[in-house]
Amino acid sequence: MKRFSLTAVLPFVWLAAFFLFPFLLVAKLSLSEVALAIPPYQPRLDLSQGLNGLSAFAQGLDLETYARLRTDHLYVAAYLSSLKFAVVSTVILLLVGYPLAYGMARSGAETRRTLMMAVILPFWTSFLIRVYAWIAILKPEGLLNAALSSLGLPTLSLLNTDAAVYIGLVYAYLPFMVLPLYAVLERQDESQLEAAADLGCTPIQAFWRVTFPQSLPGVAAGALLCFIPMVGEFVIPDLLGGSGTLMLGKVIWTEFFANRDWPAASAVAIVMLATLIIPTLLYQRQQARMVDGR
Amino acid sequence: MTRGPTLFNRISVFLGLGFLYAPIVLLVVYSFNASRLVTVWGGFSTKWYAALLKDQQMLDAIWITVRLGLISATAATVLGTLAAVALVRSGRFRGRTLFTGMLQAPLVLPEVILGLSLLLLFVAMGLQRGFWTVAVSHATMTLCYATVVIQARLVSFDRALEEAAQDLGCPPIRAFFLVTLPGIAPAVAAAWMLAFTLSLDDLVIASFTAGPGSTTLPMRIYSQVRLGVNPEINAVSTLLIAIVTLGVGIATLVQRRPKGVPRG
């Protein structure tokens, strides 16, 4: 039975106006050209001229910006490198986050609640500040090198390298990976592990045959929750990465603020969106299934 | 879980939390460092906090950011409560799929995309960018988070209470304010706090949608951080961390108060 929901009207209209409609503007602008004007693009829709204005506007649109993106080596490299950063970081996050979530789920009930709080708290703390904290650690005369040299080890210059970006990504997104993993691991039925042990499984076999397959929905949720925003990450590559670190979020920012090439920034955003739409839909389906399964 | 944690479990939790907290702890400790250099401990000092109090630009930015948070979080919580009620109580209404899509996409989509699209909207509307454009943008972003938090609570809230009130002659809107809203109040408060914190924290969307005279605290921090590590930034970061920790602590206590209520 489909009907109208009165309570939904206000938030619906709000989201349509400030979320959905702006996306259409980005799409439109990606088909426009750069112009020396304010705002810096053309054509502009002139409704005062009626239909003529509309057709002049429609004729002004073309795919030229996209052609420019495809042939420009910089954009292609930034696109591939964003995906690489996001994929590799997601894998590292799984490797770091899974043992942590698993250890949390195996703790006593009271400890579990405290540990859960401890993982959530950094998420509440400013993202920018947490990234900034790494600058003091990683910079050449920073804390890491001070510690290394006091131990008589060779120093590293990590700040402004891709390695620093990986550290930053893994650090900043760790709570997003741990929480969905913890949610599935905590719900696991202990008696299944006992049954596996009774049937001759070693604890390690029991983990791979019982626990791990059951935790896959959490793995998928955590991976998507980290992968999607990481593709467009701006703050981390900008503050921790070097001039050679290419990521799409940074490209959009530079095109927009430094080069004032709004059509190019919009086209990059559309390409990024097109790339992320499938993972986003997968994530939504995953979430719906987890809610239903409760 | 009846089986206790193994040594491996303990080590992974210890290392994991150590990784999460070490940078924050170092930042807080070095905000009290008398020396300007990161690696040199020049003794305990609160001089960077004193410098902060004299930095008028920083104080202006803090004031703008707090006002922005208060306004956008309130708007987001009202809209988020409406959205959550619609999702939980209205069943399959017209446009539900689009509605849930619009509510969930901003949770995961990169902020640069949201910032860019909102900026283009304000330009197309011919609006002067400033405080209110950032407030609207923040309300839009945080409303989705608020909805998730309130929805989770509303799902586990017993609808029979609401129906009982209506059977006793209470009109639905009154029943909502007298029965449902007090029942979900902790979640509404948590949603507001989450929205406020996210607004306080946001750099990317604010950078796109702010105009002259509406520089927020993260924008000011960012422009200083690009120039390098600065003890004054450590001090303002420590204050932010303290406020957030306090807020989360209070929120946790509030959430725990109703005893005997099964967790949803």
Here the tokens at position A135 are 């600058």
Q: What is the mean pLDDT of chain B?
A: 87
Residue A36: partners with Cβ closer than 8 Å, 6 or more residues away: none
Res B255: pLDDT = 65
- Residue pair A226/A185 in contact (Cβ under 8 Å)? The answer is no
- Residue pair A264/A279 in contact (Cβ under 8 Å)? The answer is no
How far apart, in whole angstroms, are the C-alpha atoms of residue A262 and residue B26? 40
**Residue B43 backbone zone (phi > 0: left; psi -120 to 50: alpha; other: beta):** left
Q: Which amino acid is at A22?
A: P
- B16 touching A (Cβ < 8 Å): yes
Question: CB-CB: which of B6, B113, B204 is closest to A273?
Answer: B113
- Residue pair B219/B206 in contact (Cβ under 8 Å)? The answer is yes
pLDDT digits (tens, 9 = 90+) for A26-57: 988 888 877 766 677 777 666 566 666 667 67
Here the tokens at position A206 are 């029991």
- Where is B61: in which H helix or E strand? helix B56-89
What percent of chain B is predicted at pLDDT more than 90?
39
Residue ranges per structural domain of chain A: 74-292
Res A45: pLDDT = 65
pLDDT digits (tens, 9 = 90+) for A198-252: 888 888 888 888 889 989 999 999 999 999 999 999 999 999 998 888 899 999 9
pLDDT digits (tens, 9 = 90+) for B40-86: 788 888 888 998 889 898 999 999 999 999 999 999 999 999 999 99
Average pLDDT score over residue span B226-239: 85
pLDDT digits (tens, 9 = 90+) for B79-105: 999 999 999 888 788 888 889 888 988
Question: CB-CB: which of A2, A23, A139 is closest to B94?
Answer: A2
Whole-structure pTM value:
0.87
- Residue pair B73/B142 in contact (Cβ under 8 Å)? The answer is yes
Backbone angles phi and psi of B131, in degrees to 5: -55, -50
Q: Which residue of A has its CA nearest to B172?
A: A7
**Max mean pLDDT range (A52-66, A226-240, B24-38):** A226-240
How far apart, in whole angstroms, are the C-alpha atoms of residue A7 and residue A10? 7
Pick the residue of A29, A100, A177, A194 with the most B CBs within 10 A to test the interface with B by mutation. A100
| Nearest partner of B194 among B237, B233, B138, judged by Cα | B138
**Which DSSP symbol is given to B128?**
P
Question: Coil, strand or helix: which one is B93?
Answer: strand
How far apart, in whole angstroms, are the C-alpha atoms of residue A164 and residue A98? 22
pLDDT digits (tens, 9 = 90+) for A67-84: 888 888 888 999 999 999
pLDDT band at B256 (very low <50, low <70, confident <90, very high): low
HSE of B108 in the Cβ direction (CA atoms, 13 Å)? 27
**Per-residue pLDDT at B35 exceeds 70:** yes
Res B186: pLDDT = 86
Residue ranges per structural domain of chain B: 55-255
ipTM of the predicted structure? 0.86
**CATH code that applies to domain B55-255:** 1.10.3720.10
What is the rounded (10 degree) CA torsion for A119, A179, A132, A261? -160
pLDDT digits (tens, 9 = 90+) for A89-118: 999 999 999 999 999 998 888 888 889 888
Strands (E), chain A: 33-34, 41-42
Q: What is the mean pLDDT of chain A?
A: 86
Q: Which of residues 29-58 of B touch A (CB under 8 A)?
A: 30, 37-39
pLDDT digits (tens, 9 = 90+) for B203-221: 999 999 998 889 999 999 9
Measured between CA atoms, how close is B168 to chain A, in angstroms? 23
Q: Which residue of B has its CA nearest to A272?
A: B113
pLDDT band at A170 (very low <50, low <70, confident <90, very high): very high
pLDDT digits (tens, 9 = 90+) for B115-153: 999 999 998 888 889 999 999 999 999 999 999 999 988
Across B101-130, b (16+ Cβ under 10 Å) vs e yields bbbbbbbbbbbbbbbbbbbbbbbbeeeebe
Q: Which of residues 164-203 of B touch A (CB under 8 A)?
A: 194, 197, 200-201, 203
Class of domain A74-292: mainly alpha
**Per-residue pLDDT at B33 exceeds 90:** no
pLDDT band at A291 (very low <50, low <70, confident <90, very high): low
